[in-house]
Amino acid sequence: MGRQAKVTIEFDEGFFDEVLNSAQVRALVDLAAERVVAQAKATAPVRTGAYRDSIHVQHTQAAHRQVAEVVADVPYGIFVESRTGNLARAAKAAKI
């Protein structure tokens, strides 16, 4: 058998930071998150409307990229999610 070649790959983290934080990538991420918001609001259980109205996109900065999270920030939102899975189902239905 012949010798095996040794391959070394070095990633340019600065390049990925630049791309993943670019306006174009952020716009795509925001578009996907807004699709989830629209679906989640359309399928949210409504008693007073406060849960539905609290669903929105929240941005956070991760180590190498901006993250868009869809959240419902009423105090009881976690209970609605645990009972209905509304946000999880909305993400799946939005096909992101």
pLDDT tens sequence across 55-94 = 999 999 888 888 999 999 999 999 999 999 999 999 999 8
Q: What are phi and psi of 60, to 5 degrees?
A: -135, 155
Contact 18, 65 (CB under 8 A): no
DSSP designation for 60 = E
pLDDT tens sequence across 11-62 = 888 998 899 899 999 999 999 999 999 999 999 999 999 999 999 999 998 8
